[in-house]
Amino acid sequence: MALQDLETFLATVDQNPDLQEQLSQLDLQGVLKLAADKGFQLRAADLLRAQAEQILAMSDDELDLLVEGGLDDLFDMNDFQAYLERT
């Protein structure tokens, strides 16, 4: 159950500052590898779907702020911590 693993993984990350720091340095493939190393079976599609759901739930003002300062991070996943703070 990849979706369940994603939810559990995000909860684990939320409670672990060291893991948050590690993730902030990784791209999408690095995040997937780290998750697998920790025992979570995630797919890139799961992460992208979670991002899309978060974007769809944003207000127009939040979307404006995202476009002004965070769109590259969101799509490149270079700053996974920023993504987690949006969820």
Distance CA 36, CA 2 (A): 11
- pLDDT by residue for the chain (87 residues), tens digit each? 577 888 899 889 889 999 988 888 888 899 999 999 999 999 999 888 888 888 888 888 888 777 776 555 555 545 555 655 655
What per-residue confidence (pLDDT) applies to 84?
Answer: 58
What radius of gyration do the chain's Cα atoms show? 13
Contact 5, 62 (CB under 8 A): no
Cα–Cα distance for residue pair 56/33, rounded to 1 Å = 27
DSSP secondary structure string, 7-52? Answer: HHHHHHHHT-HHHHHHHTT--HHHHHHHHHHTT----HHHHHHHHH
At residue 82, the pLDDT reads: 60
Q: Which one, of 84, 86, 73, lies nearest residue 16 by Cα? A: 84
